[in-house]
Structure 1
Amino acid sequence: MGPFLPDAVRAHARRAPGAPAVSEGGRTLGYGALDTRSNRLAQALLAEGLTPGQRVGYLARPGILGAEVLLACAKAGLVATPLNWRLAARELTRIAADAELALMITQSEFLGPARSVAETRPGTPLVIDGDGDGEAGAYAYETWLSGAADEDPGRGSENAVYLQLYTSGTTGLPKGVQLTLENTIAGPAQLAEMEWRPEAIALNAMPVFHIAGTGWLIQALNAGARTVTMPDFRPTDAVELMERERITHAFFAPSILHMLTTVPGIEDRDFSALETIVYGSSPITPALLRRSMKIFGCAFYQKYGQTENVGSSTRLLSEDHDPDGPRAHLLRSAGLPFPYVDLRITDPVTGEPLPRGEVGEILVRSHQVMPGYWNRPEENAKTLTEDGFLRTGDAGCLDAEGYLFITDRIKDMVITGGENVYPIEVESVLAEHPAVLDVAVYGTPHATWGEAVTAAVVLRADADPVTEAELIAFAKERIASYKKPRTVHFMDELPRNPSGKILKRVLRDTTGGGESSA
């Protein structure tokens, strides 16, 4: 075990206060400044009367602000709650109400939705960073910060929840994954596997409301490395940033790798500084992995996990990435469990352990497993076993050497572009359309996004005609754009088993997928 996040930053600030910690655009914050500013933010939050365990919402793109909020909450005994700026207003307010936010921090770009979020709890203070400073009824972030003392409150404990990330549940309702300082610790062995060191320069192109973005930031801060953030990901800009900043470490979802490898002239770019690419968040095809390895010419390292265990259960080490060797089949695996992870394959009905080679539900146990969902006792009982295992909802098997091969998802979740989409949420929206009689949503293969959200719809016989484009637009108005179906198949009826359950595997096989231009 290594130091907890606030202790790691404190140590780096003492050792090398001027060493760069986080960069955003043309601005870089050193470890000394990050430590001091997060102290001030912690004191400013406490001065508002916030008490231990209360949730602090923030709506912002990746950057310095997210690092300051994360550390300040850890130091003050509060809970940082990043919100997904891609969500529709009604989705944001639903999450804000569930979290019972005590204060809201945002960037001026998101002032409108941030005000809506704050208004879900009358009297919730709103703090604005950026051009919106001075807005009526809100604090200007820098002014608010400068009026606070820089004394470290030192209130966080290893078992205290300091981070709450929201992920949709199988019912479509948002669930707050609570994470403690102990959950997010990155030990020396784990950092060494990916060759983290203070001289490393990490690209963070993932959003802070995603475990990939926040987790990658936490690892870099633990290592004393510099994080270069991308507030808005564009493939060509990312390539130029990697060259200019001499990026050594990067985390990418497979969909991002696909976009990067198709940038014109990518084969001629200079990636000589690049040492390690970590990938995860969704399945990757062997073809894309081979192409990425050829273009970037660095070590590749896969992670498999969930938000509920900080995104890390197993890893496929760089030495196991040998596409032309005798162990090339391992490219289809999720690798070996981390040394601190207990992994079981069990019968999803009986819960009994299964022998190697047999497919069952993947269960994991480690110090990284969450203490539970926020205010979800029934979900906790379904997800966490009495002996501390997390039921992942994924199906897989272990080979003779202990490598994990994921065969399917027991849950019907669709992973598109590294984002989780639960079919029931999209189905519920489409079912609101007056022309829709029956609907099923599922994932189909997509060259760029990994999977595409696909819908099969049965229309009412007495309804006015409706087109595929109209249904997609109807969904887009009510949920985040990435959740909308890319293709809608019209059917006379949906295939079901004798008990009435929709056979989504049959739908995948018969409709095939494809993509709409919508």
Structure 2
Amino acid sequence: MSLAPAVPSYASGTSEVPLLGDTIGDNFDRTALAQPDVDALVEVPTGRRWTYGELRTEVDAVALGLVAAGLEKGDRLGIWAPNVAEWTLVQYATAKIGVVLVNINPAYRTHELEYVLKQAGISVLVAATAFKTSDYAAMIQEVRPNCPDLRQVVLIGTPDWDALVEPGRTGDAAELARRQADLSPDDPINIQYTSGTTGFPKGATLSHHNILNNGYNVGRLCGYGPEDRVCIPVPFYHCFGMVMGNLACTSNGSTMVIPGQGFDPKATLHAVQQERCTSLYGVPTMFIAELNDPTFGDYDLSSLRTGIMAGSPCPVEVMKQVVDRMGMTEVSICYGMTETSPVSTQTRVDDSLERRVATVGRVGPHLEVKVVDPETGLTLPRGEPGELCTRGYSVMLGYWNEPDKTAESIDAARWMHTGDIGIMDDEGYLNITGRIKDMVIRGGENVYPREIEEFLYTHPDILDAQVIGVPDAKYGEELCAWVTLRDGAEELTVEKVREFATGKLAHYKIPRYVMVVDEFPMTVTGKVRKVEMREKSVGLLGLEDAAAVRNA
């Protein structure tokens, strides 16, 4: 008697709604022409607001200003700023003229800024003058002599910005239409840098088709329409803000609400109340901060219906509180990665509460996912853990100017290998249980230990360094560095490491814990056992409670 074959860990997302064949600019225009009087963008701190009709006029002025500045299709424009309205204007303006927008993390320091400017060949940089403790203007001045492609810097909120936009207000609308018509949905339009396993970030290159459809489908699964107002405290430089936030809104006709330049729990709760937001986004850390704010009870959040929690493993208890205390009964968990535009799986409104709080949902429309044996590449039976892979419209074009790195991540059949360990159940729902690669996700920020290790090697007292992620109740994970010291080196403390890294590394890449050891745990073949290091660190640092938190 032969047994029936096991059901494979494979699922494809069916949909009666077709993919969009538009460019981002054309799709935006369609929405603006259909509902010119609906609110499109609200910047709460400044009180600035635009209807769709007004926003289209402003976007076109910025686009024609960029044309007047000499930008051509395929040129790269960098944007280095926190969440401000100008970020959104530049996002849509570049898309209209085929200029590739390069997102630069607001936390970057000079070392990272210079690398990205050179690697992407950025010719124009639009930047804030400063944000938090970062003096952007000074940092740009410092690296500019080393960046030969950079010919123009436009600082937001200064006469630079007005000088860029003013020529566009009297520009030739026919020229803009011609440039728009010359674009293909498959053209690259966005580069987002993900921390690099080899010491430097890689530029995930995304097309109109990639990110427009991902935003559209994520928004559709949240039920968005013109009556929805989405509070976006997550950063625009990340797919969460600019795709799941901005593009989900404009492709579904909803309103983008900016609660502040950077995340602040009170400002976010205030924006939800003032603008009667129906949806709120955040990584788990943000929701925890809002729920624990002493003034939480003072805000009227009754307008909230839905929202998205993503970017980090989502603690089950936090999800339950978001549903119960914030009234977000239709809240959704999304899972994905920058290289997949970003969302591959999402929970649905009609999923049971247990499914919505304890899984990352099932495959999105028009996408495929499978769980494979990392060694053989063969699809595993359902219920068995393996590497999660995804395929479809969302998979990036590749890493900018790095074909070898692209080939390591996307196989010949166009499956993106995520490096995450997933388990698919009988109904097609997924749980993420760990990572094959040792990437650390700290509060929604992807950090590759190798990048930090390479940096720590430059410290005069450090002989060798290994960086791991350890559990953290607030950020999901924190960085812990195990280091061995050179002979005769002085005692090394966390404070000394922080001092050495401050100003050179983004704050979220600086290890919270530093452990000086004589040697690292090794396998017989000489490989460092990071799993064992993590287990030991949990005990040595007293992180058992954080390690016990259950995530989707």
Q: 1:311 maps to what in 2?
A: 342
**SS state at 1:318 partner:** coil
Provide the secondary structure at the position in 1 that maps to 2:105.
coil
**Offset, 1:200:** 0.9
Q: Which residue of 2 aligns with 1:200?
A: 228
Unaligned runs of 5+ in 2: 1-18, 131-135, 544-552
Give the TM-score, by structure 1 length.
Answer: 0.93
Q: What secondary structure, in the 3-state scheme, does the structure 2 residue paired with 1:28 have?
A: strand
Quick one: which amino acid aligns to residue 110 of structure 2? A
Map 1:346-385 → 2, pairs under 5 A: 346-385=372-411
Change beyond 3 A, Cα 1:159–1:175:
same
Could you say which residue in structure 2 is the equivalent of 1:226?
Answer: 255
For residues 190 and 504 of structure 2, what CA distance do their matches in structure 1 show?
28
After superposition, residues 170-181 of structure 1 pair within 5 angstroms as 170-181=197-208
Shift of 1:470: 0.8
Identity, in percent, stands at 31
Q: Does 1:30 align with 2:51?
A: yes
Structure 1 unpaired stretches of 5+ = 323-327
- How far did 1:345 drift? 1.1
What secondary structure, in the 3-state scheme, does the structure 1 residue paired with 2:390 have? strand
Q: Which amino acid aligns with 2:528?
A: I
One-letter amino acid of the structure 1 residue matched with residue 489 of structure 2: A
User: C-alpha offsets along residues 466-511 of structure 1, whole Å, 9 cap, x if unaligned?
Assistant: 2221112212232011110111122221111112211111111111
Provide the residue aligned with 1:140 in structure 2: 163
The question of whether the paired residues in 1 share the 8 Å contact of 2:443 and 2:475 is answered with yes
Q: Which residue of 2 aligns with 1:257?
A: 287
The alpha carbon displacement at 1:140 in A equals 3.2
Q: Is the 8 A contact 1:309 1:370 kept in 2?
A: yes
CA contact (8 A) 1:250 1:278 kept: yes
The yes-or-no answer on 1:7 pairing with 2:36 is no
Match status 1:504 vs 2:534: no
Aligned pairs, how many?
Answer: 506
Q: Secondary structure at the match of 1:56?
A: strand
- TM-score, normalising length from structure 2? 0.87
The yes-or-no answer on 1:125 pairing with 2:152 is yes
**Residue 78 of structure 2: aligned partner:** 57
Separation of aligned partners in 1, 2:242 and 2:112? 21
Cross-structure match for 1:386: 412
Shift in alpha-carbon separation, 1:9–1:117, aligned structure 2, 3 A: farther
Partners of 1:442 and 1:454 within 8 A in 2: yes
Q: Which residue of 2 aligns with 1:20?
A: 39
1-structure distance, mates of 2:298, 2:149: 55
Tell me the residue number matched to 1:108: 129
Please say if 1:439 is aligned against 2:465: yes
Deviations 1:320-351 (A, max 9, x none): 352xxxxx366332111113111111111221
Q: CA deviation at 1:459?
A: 2.1
Q: Following TM superposition, by how much is the alpha carbon of 1:81 offset from its aligned partner in structure 2, in angstroms?
A: 1.0
The one-character-per-residue Cα deviations of 1:291-322 (angstroms, maximum 9, x if unpaired) are: 22221122210100000111211112233352
Computed over aligned residues only, the root mean square deviation of the Cα atoms, in angstroms, reads: 2.0
- Asked whether the equivalents of residues 439 and 449 of structure 2 are also in contact (C-alpha less than 8 Å), the reply is yes
Counterpart amino acid of residue 21 in structure 1 = A
- Give a deviation string over 1:178-225, Cα, whole Å, max 9, x none: 111111233876533201001211111111211111111111111111
How far apart are the structure 1 equivalents of 2:287 and 2:218?
23
Distance change in 2, residues 1:118/1:276 (3 Å): farther
1:291 maps onto 2:314 in alignment? no
In 1, Cα distance between equivalents of 2:167 and 2:500: 41
Bigger RCO (CA 8 Å, 6+ sep): 2
Aligned residue identity for 1:220: C
Match of 1:325 in 2: none
Per-residue CA deviation, residues 266-312 of structure 1 (Å, 9 max, x unaligned), is 24532110011211111011122222222112221010000011121
Looking at structure 1, the residues matched to 271 and 508 of structure 2 have their Cα atoms a distance apart, in angstroms, of 25
Contact 1:201 1:227 survives alignment (8 Å) = yes
Contact 1:108 1:133 in 2 (8 A): no
Contact 2:60 / 2:168 at 8 angstroms: preserved in 1?
no
Mean CA deviation greater in 369-378 or 37-46: 37-46
1:118–1:125 CA contact under 8 A, matched in 2: no
- For 1:242 and 1:94, the matched residues in 2 are separated by 38
Tell me how far apart the structure 1 counterparts of residues 92 and 305 of structure 2 sit (CA, whole Å).
28
